[in-house]
Amino acid sequence: MPGYVFQAARVLVGLSQQGLCDQAGVSKKPINDFENMLSTPRASTVTKLVSVLTKHGVRFVEGNGVTGVVAVLTRARTEEVSRSPQRRGPGRHAAVQRSD
Protein backbone atom coordinates (compact mmCIF):
# COMPACT_ATOMS: atom_id res chain seq x y z
CA MET A 1 0.00 0.00 0.00
CA PRO A 2 1.48 3.39 -0.95
CA GLY A 3 2.09 5.88 1.84
CA TYR A 4 -0.23 8.46 0.30
CA VAL A 5 -3.17 6.02 0.46
CA PHE A 6 -2.38 5.41 4.11
CA GLN A 7 -2.25 9.17 4.74
CA ALA A 8 -5.60 9.64 3.00
CA ALA A 9 -7.13 6.98 5.24
CA ARG A 10 -5.79 8.67 8.37
CA VAL A 11 -7.05 12.09 7.29
CA LEU A 12 -10.49 10.76 6.29
CA VAL A 13 -11.14 9.59 9.83
CA GLY A 14 -9.69 12.73 11.42
CA LEU A 15 -6.57 11.27 13.00
CA SER A 16 -3.32 13.19 13.28
CA GLN A 17 -0.05 11.34 12.91
CA GLN A 18 0.50 11.71 16.65
CA GLY A 19 -3.00 10.47 17.46
CA LEU A 20 -2.46 7.40 15.31
CA CYS A 21 0.93 6.79 16.95
CA ASP A 22 -0.54 7.04 20.42
CA GLN A 23 -3.34 4.60 19.65
CA ALA A 24 -1.09 2.13 17.83
CA GLY A 25 1.76 2.32 20.34
CA VAL A 26 4.39 3.18 17.72
CA SER A 27 6.69 6.15 17.18
CA LYS A 28 5.79 8.95 14.79
CA LYS A 29 8.88 8.76 12.54
CA PRO A 30 7.90 5.55 10.68
CA ILE A 31 4.46 7.02 9.89
CA ASN A 32 5.89 10.33 8.73
CA ASP A 33 8.53 8.63 6.57
CA PHE A 34 5.94 6.23 5.11
CA GLU A 35 3.46 8.97 4.24
CA ASN A 36 6.24 11.00 2.61
CA MET A 37 7.37 7.89 0.69
CA LEU A 38 10.84 7.91 2.29
CA SER A 39 10.62 4.37 3.69
CA THR A 40 8.36 1.42 4.33
CA PRO A 41 7.66 0.52 7.97
CA ARG A 42 8.04 -3.00 9.32
CA ALA A 43 5.16 -5.37 8.71
CA SER A 44 4.41 -5.44 12.45
CA THR A 45 4.11 -1.63 12.51
CA VAL A 46 1.83 -1.61 9.46
CA THR A 47 -0.36 -4.25 11.13
CA LYS A 48 -0.75 -2.08 14.26
CA LEU A 49 -1.54 1.03 12.24
CA VAL A 50 -4.05 -0.72 9.98
CA SER A 51 -5.72 -2.18 13.06
CA VAL A 52 -6.27 1.29 14.53
CA LEU A 53 -7.52 2.71 11.24
CA THR A 54 -9.90 -0.22 10.79
CA LYS A 55 -11.37 0.45 14.24
CA HIS A 56 -12.05 4.01 13.05
CA GLY A 57 -13.99 2.78 10.00
CA VAL A 58 -11.27 2.60 7.32
CA ARG A 59 -11.43 -0.11 4.66
CA PHE A 60 -8.57 -0.57 2.20
CA VAL A 61 -9.57 -1.69 -1.30
CA GLU A 62 -7.24 -3.33 -3.81
CA GLY A 63 -7.86 -4.64 -7.29
CA ASN A 64 -6.75 -4.38 -10.91
CA GLY A 65 -3.50 -2.67 -9.94
CA VAL A 66 -5.29 0.01 -7.93
CA THR A 67 -5.27 0.61 -4.18
CA GLY A 68 -7.81 2.86 -2.51
CA VAL A 69 -9.46 3.60 0.78
CA VAL A 70 -13.03 3.93 1.99
CA ALA A 71 -14.05 5.37 5.34
CA VAL A 72 -17.31 4.16 6.86
CA LEU A 73 -18.35 6.74 9.46
CA THR A 74 -21.44 7.32 11.55
CA ARG A 75 -23.17 10.69 11.10
CA ALA A 76 -21.83 11.86 14.46
CA ARG A 77 -18.28 10.85 13.53
CA THR A 78 -18.62 12.54 10.10
CA GLU A 79 -19.61 15.79 11.79
CA GLU A 80 -16.73 15.42 14.23
CA VAL A 81 -14.00 14.99 11.58
CA SER A 82 -15.45 17.21 8.83
CA ARG A 83 -13.74 20.45 7.90
CA SER A 84 -16.93 21.75 6.30
CA PRO A 85 -18.68 24.50 8.32
CA GLN A 86 -22.03 22.96 7.39
CA ARG A 87 -21.07 19.68 9.05
CA ARG A 88 -19.50 21.01 12.23
CA GLY A 89 -21.37 19.97 15.29
CA PRO A 90 -21.73 21.73 18.65
CA GLY A 91 -18.50 23.04 20.06
CA ARG A 92 -16.89 23.62 16.68
CA HIS A 93 -15.39 26.94 15.61
CA ALA A 94 -18.18 27.93 13.25
CA ALA A 95 -21.78 28.37 14.29
CA VAL A 96 -24.22 27.00 11.74
CA GLN A 97 -27.96 26.67 12.07
CA ARG A 98 -29.70 23.79 10.42
CA SER A 99 -33.23 23.85 9.19
CA ASP A 100 -33.64 20.08 8.74
Q: Which amino acid is at 13?
A: V
Handedness of CA 32, 46, 39, 73 (dihedral sign): negative
The pLDDT profile of the chain, 100 residues, written as one tens digit per residue, is 788 888 999 998 889 999 999 999 999 999 999 999 999 999 999 999 999 999 998 888 888 887 788 877 666 555 666 555 554 444 433 333 334 4
pTM score of the predicted model: 0.69
